[in-house]
Amino acid sequence: MSRERIVVLDFGGQYNQLIARCIREAGVFCELLPYDSPIEKIQAGNLKGIVLTGGPDSFAAQNARVCPKEIFSLGVPVLGICYGMQAMAQLFGGQVEKASLPEFGHTDIHLVDHALFADLPQDTIVWMNHNDLVTVLPQGFISIASSANCPVAAFADDARHFYGFQFHPEVKHSIYGKQMLQNFVKNICHCACDWQMDHLAQELIQGIQKQVGDGTLVVGFSGGVDSSVATVLAHRALGDRVQCILVDHGLMRKNESQEILDYYEGELGIPIQCVYAKDRFLAKLKGITDPEQKRKVIGTEFIRVFEEEAKKIHGDYLLQGTIYPDVIESGSGQAAVIKSHHNVGGLPKDIGFKGLVEPLRMLFKDEVRALGEELGIPHHLVWRQPFPGPGLAVRILGEITEEKLMMVQESDAILREEVAKAGLDRSIWQYFTVFPDVRTVGVKGDSRSYEYLIGIRAVVSEDAMTVDVAELPYPLLKLISNRIINEVPGIGRVVYDITSKPPGTIEWE
Ligand code: XMP
């Protein structure tokens, strides 16, 4: 029998990726699909269960997204979470109404004896986040959990294997939430839970071999975690039929392209053609100060250079390191565009290839890293901090010049070196220096100086959607500041950015 699969149907809730994560952690491959996906896509393979997520819609308002009816005839258990539960109740003739007392946050809940709650205490705390609630149970359903203001905090129709949670088991504030999802997977869907990273690596390698056949594959290689893991998989699958192109736009960190070449070409033997195009990019960026304009110029130029090189190679397929959040953002995500992210992996699909190969499109970042470790890629490469496609261009405010680039590269190298020495490099999501294009007065060697300012940005986060300021120890900050001012010509002052996201973003542009 093929790999077990649970499908999570996305109604637009904020925590949907976490549901998929919890289920994968339980050892079952799990995919998040838009709620209105074609039924053939939902039921493909060895489908063992379906989860309907929460979402912003309300049955009290018009145009609430409805649950596709056919999923209840597939013979697999269905679990609705929050809005997903309400959608299920509505479909089966129950009633959903606006709650007189909506519940948000930690909520005490009482559980009845049920396979979904096996091995859990009867009284526990869950995370609620709802305005509406199920007031009349559909026929065949019983309530299996209640809170002070929500008599139907969970329901079950054990004969048909349909279930609902009004609360969010996927968030960590629901103390036993993870176990509840695992109980669904094990006790209700009867999954064997034998899905692991090494199986995944084999599956992905075979998938690439099947898709590409005896053809060749071109990679737009950035050295970032996603493109590296995808490339190593492709190399294992196809050997020297993989050809990588690394476009060095000159906006990378200090020594970055050389380090990438040393490891991937030198150690792994993956042939990489490095195109040094710094002059070309800087010429195009001359005089440009608007952040969006910079991104567009870099994105367009990047594609031009890549196209020119790819044409010389005549590859059949194009490999991309697309990961799950990218798919969600461009698919069913509802988020507003804050910045038009230029991703070096985001190459156009119409540049003369037979098709795209995207082995990581079902994985989250930490799963990609786990896979990278499984493939034997060294820690420091697997755990590289995320780096924006336009590189240091979005860390230099105003026009980009060679001199400013040097100041950012050198100061950033010092920061990285000291953070790593302090053993903090794995616990901080991103840490880098920015160049605000401001000069300030100082005193150096008894005379007046008028030199540039450098900002340090260091943040902790789980997914880059929200971040907190990383609390770097003062002695470390002082050491870094001292080194930057002494070692980087042109810098006379260092400041520490203490803005969270929101309202700030991680990058300054
Ligand atoms: P912001 O600055 O929006 O960044 O909080 C969130 C994450 O995305 C990275 N970032 C980019 N990545 N192209 C990219 O590929 C871009 O244009 C871009 N802008 C920001 C940023 O480093 C952070 O990890």
Is 190 marked active-site? no
What are 8-63's pLDDT values in tens digits? Answer: 999 988 778 789 889 988 999 888 888 999 999 999 999 999 999 998 888 776 67
CATH class of the structural domain 4-188: alpha beta
CB-based contacts of 225, cutoff 8 Å, min separation 6: 365, 368, 369, 372, 381, 382, 383, 384, 386
Is the distance from the beta carbon of residue 296 to the nearest atom of ligand 1 less than 6 Å? no
* pLDDT at 341 > cutoff 70: no
Instruction: Please provide the DSSP assignment of 340-361 as one string.
Output: ----TT---S-SS-SEEE-TTT
The per-residue pLDDT for 328 is 57
What are 265-322's pLDDT values in tens digits? Answer: 998 889 899 999 999 999 999 999 999 999 999 988 998 898 888 888 888 999 988 8
Closest Cα partner for 433 from 500, 503, 497, 476?
497
* pLDDT at 335 > cutoff 50: no
Phi/psi class of residue 105: alpha, beta or left (left: φ > 0; alpha: ψ in -120 to 50)?
Answer: left
Question: What number is the average pLDDT over the span 164-178?
Answer: 93
pTM for the model stands at 0.72
Active-site residue (options: 168, 235, 249, 342): 168
CATH architecture of the domain 401-497 equals 2-Layer Sandwich (3.30)
For residue 429, the ligand 1 atom closest to its alpha carbon is 24
Is 161 marked active-site? no
Distance of CA 237 to the CA centre of its chain: 25
Is the distance from the beta carbon of residue 388 to the nearest atom of ligand 1 less than 6 Å? yes
Phi/psi class of residue 255: alpha, beta or left (left: φ > 0; alpha: ψ in -120 to 50)?
Answer: left
| pLDDT cut 70: percent of the chain above it | 94
The per-residue pLDDT for 199 is 82
CATH architecture of the domain 197-382 equals 3-Layer(aba) Sandwich (3.40)
Q: Are strands 467-469 and 447-461 parallel, antiparallel or unpaired?
A: antiparallel
Positions of CATH 3.40.50.620 in the chain: 197-382
For residue 387, the ligand 1 atom closest to its alpha carbon is 22
Angle between helices 197-212 and 365-374 (to 10 degrees): 90
Name the pLDDT band for 336 (thresholds 50, 70, 90). Answer: very low
Closest Cα partner for 480 from 455, 505, 462?
455
Is the distance from the beta carbon of residue 339 to the nearest atom of ligand 1 less than 6 Å? yes
Phi/psi class of residue 290: alpha, beta or left (left: φ > 0; alpha: ψ in -120 to 50)?
Answer: beta
Helix or strand (DSSP H, E) at 30: strand 29-34
What are 88-126's pLDDT values in tens digits? Answer: 999 999 999 888 888 888 899 999 999 999 999 999 999
Positions of CATH 3.40.50.880 in the chain: 4-188
For residue 508, the ligand 1 atom closest to its alpha carbon is 2
Is 170 marked active-site? yes
Q: Which of 127-141, 193-207, 331-345, 457-471 has the lowest mean pLDDT?
A: 331-345
